[in-house]
């Protein structure tokens, strides 16, 4: 990847943080060499997504050491080779949560339970079986970490059973909060880019164009919680489209588009801006709840643009529907709505 970038003439600036993108396109940087500013013709924001940390989950209690996200845990164990603890609780039961359990095992930590507020795990059956029967980790469903206790170091967590309301205390010295992805959208937001309240990332069309001319976005900042492969393929598609537009010289013209909105239990859809002259192959979708086989209806101002049958949906995992209906979108009409019927 690095070779591909440098061979194409890109200059890589390592140890460099972008501190701001002005709506006019000026990019501010800070690095060991000091402060700098760039004035590129285009900015592609690909800042990724982070797992929601404990503070943002509003979990009361003390503020001891021993609280991780999966990302922090994996850096701690695999990059810095630091000791973690002895007994852990993992909150979350999506793909990355099982990855956290494996990292804990590699670090010699016993995972006493995985807990999820949802009624089932949200990963592949094989991962869940391996975790239950090979690693001996119980999965507590409809359960959440209600408080973290400990002076200096985590000593216990309080678990709340969301069905019965009962609480119990479990002695652990480590808690890992996993998943619940939040796009790292701060740079894009401060640049004046329109943010989708559903994904919490920049709204873009399939070519990555945001609401601000000259600023594009791709990867997990626009579709939080997708795999690395999806982010890489999406990034390549956006970069190719950007290169074509720069060559054609029409990059500086606003492209417009119609917003795509979802109705619960759909959680989000992406691309979240569409234009009839730019039909995407697929639209990614997520749901908040487990749903059986349902139909997604795509509507604009009361007109049905298309319907698609979905397979069973699992929260925290994507489904997709074909994008053919985008050709029938009225560019002058209101937002497109997606709902389950
Ligand atoms: C702990 C963990 C485990 C995962 N395991 C898997 C797995 O097993 N398989 C899989 O397919 N996917 C996995 N993923 C998901 C995978 O990492 C993402 O899908 C993928 O990395 C997203 O790519 P991206 O380019 O959108 O963002 P990222 O890979 O997150 O890249 C964003 C980059 O932007 C940089 N950045 C952010 N802000 C700034 C700034 N202001 N200035 C400069 N640079 C900035 C960051 O440093 C980072 O390098 C995992 C994710 C995590 C957190």
- Got the DSSP string for 215-229? EEE-GGGTSTT--HH
pLDDT of residue 2: 85
Residues 168 and 285 in one domain: no
- Helix, strand, or coil (residue 14): coil
Residue 48 Cα to ligand 1 middle (Å): 5
Please check the confidence at residue 190 and state whether its pLDDT lies above 90. yes
Atom number in ligand 1 closest to CA 70: 1
Q: Which residues lie below 8 Å from residue 278, measured CB to CB, with a gap of 6+?
A: 205, 206, 207, 326
Name the band, by pLDDT with cuts 50, 70 and 90, for residue 228.
very high
Q: Is residue 18 part of a domain?
A: no
Closest CA to 70 of 46, 47, 95, 87: 95
Q: State the average pLDDT over residues 151-173.
A: 97
Q: Is residue 121 part of a domain?
A: yes
> Which residues does ligand 1 sit against, CB inside 6 Å?
17-18, 46-48, 70-71, 74, 96, 99, 184, 187, 219-220, 226-229, 231
Lowest mean pLDDT among 16-25, 113-122, 175-184: 16-25
pLDDT of residue 175: 97
Name the band, by pLDDT with cuts 50, 70 and 90, for residue 250.
confident
Mean residue pLDDT of the chain comes to 94
Nearest 5 degrees, angle CA 31-CA 33-CA 35? 65
- pLDDT tens column, 50-94: 999 888 888 888 889 999 999 999 999 999 999 999 999 999 999
Whether the Cβ atoms of residue 142 and residue 161 lie closer than 8 Å to each other: yes
CATH classification at residue 318? 2.60.40.10
Domain that holds residue 172: 53-179
Q: Is residue 314 part of a domain?
A: yes
Q: State the average pLDDT over residues 141-155.
A: 96
Please check the confidence at residue 298 and state whether its pLDDT lies above 90. yes
Q: State the average pLDDT over residues 123-141.
A: 91
Please check the confidence at residue 34 and state whether its pLDDT lies above 90. yes
Residues 173 and 271 in one domain: no
pLDDT of residue 23: 81
Residues 162 and 60 in one domain: yes
Domain stops at, among 179, 207, 227: 179
Domain stops at, among 179, 199, 224: 179
- pLDDT tens column, 320-339: 999 999 999 999 999 999 99
The domain total for the chain is 2
More confident position, 168 or 55: 168
Closest CA to 215 of 181, 238, 240: 238
Q: Is residue 167 part of a domain?
A: yes
Atom number in ligand 1 closest to CA 230: 19
Q: Which residues lie below 8 Å from residue 265, measured CB to CB, with a gap of 6+?
A: 287, 288, 289, 291, 340
Q: Is residue 22 part of a domain?
A: no
**What is the Cα–Cα distance from 252 to 254, expressed in whole angstroms?**
7
Atom number in ligand 1 closest to CA 73: 1
Residues 158 and 275 in one domain: no
pLDDT of residue 295: 96
Which of 184, 222, 228, 233 for mutating ligand 1's site (highest number of atoms within 8 Å of CB)? 228
Residues 60 and 173 in one domain: yes
Residue 100 Cα to ligand 1 middle (Å): 16
Q: Is residue 270 part of a domain?
A: yes
Q: DSSP class of residue 15?
A: T
Atom number in ligand 1 closest to CA 74: 1
Domain stops at, among 153, 179, 205: 179
CA nearest ligand 1 atom 20, residue: 228
Q: State the average pLDDT over residues 24-52.
A: 94
CATH classification at residue 149? 3.50.50.60
CA nearest ligand 1 atom 46, residue: 47
CA nearest ligand 1 atom 18, residue: 228
Q: Is residue 206 part of a domain?
A: no
Q: Is residue 138 part of a domain?
A: yes
Judge if pTM exceeds 0.85.
yes
Buried b / exposed e along 241-259 (16+ C-beta atoms within 10 A): bbeebeeeeebeeeeebbe
- Helix, strand, or coil (residue 275): strand
- pLDDT tens column, 215-226: 999 999 999 999
Name the band, by pLDDT with cuts 50, 70 and 90, for residue 132.
confident
């Amino acid at each position: 990847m690095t070779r591909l970038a440098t061979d194409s003439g890109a200059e890589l600036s390592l140890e460099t943080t972008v501190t701001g993108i002005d709506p006019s396109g000026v990019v501010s940087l800070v690095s060991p060499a000091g402060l700098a500013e760039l004035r590129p013709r285009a900015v592609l924001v690909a800042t990724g997504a982070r797992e929601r940390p404990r503070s943002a989950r509003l979990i009361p209690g003390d503020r001891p050491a021993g609280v991780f996200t999966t990302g922090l845990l994996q850096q701690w164990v695999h990059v810095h080779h630091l000791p973690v603890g002895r007994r852990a609780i993992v909150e979350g039961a999506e793909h990355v949560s099982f990855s956290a359990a494996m990292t804990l095992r590699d670090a010699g930590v016993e995972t006493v339970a995985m807990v999820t507020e949802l009624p089932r795990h949200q990963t592949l059956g094989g991962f869940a079986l391996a975790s239950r029967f090979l690693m001996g980790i119980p999965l507590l469903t409809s359960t959440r970490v209600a408080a973290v206790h400990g002076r200096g170091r985590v000593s216990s967590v309080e678990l709340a059973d969301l069905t019965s309301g009962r609480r119990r205390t479990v002695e652990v010295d480590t808690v890992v909060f996993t998943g619940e992805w939040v796009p790292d959208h701060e740079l894009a937001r401060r640049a004046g880019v329109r943010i989708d309240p559903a994904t919490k990332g920049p709204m873009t069309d399939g070519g990555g164009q945001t609401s601000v001319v000259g600023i594009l976005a791709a990867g997990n900042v626009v579709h939080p919680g997708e795999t690395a492969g999806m982010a890489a393929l999406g990034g390549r598609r956006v970069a190719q489209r950007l290169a074509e537009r720069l060559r054609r010289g029409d990059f500086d013209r606003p492209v417009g588009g119609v917003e795509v909105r979802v109705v619960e239990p759909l959680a989000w859809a992406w691309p979240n801006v569409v234009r009839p002259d730019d039909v995407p192959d697929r639209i990614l979708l997520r749901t908040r709840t487990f749903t059986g086989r349902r139909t997604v209806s795509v509507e604009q101002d009361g007109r049905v643009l298309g319907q698609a049958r979905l397979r069973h949906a699992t929260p925290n995992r994507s489904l997709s529907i074909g994008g053919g209906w985008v050709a029938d979108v009225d560019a002058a009409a209101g937002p497109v709505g997606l709902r389950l019927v």
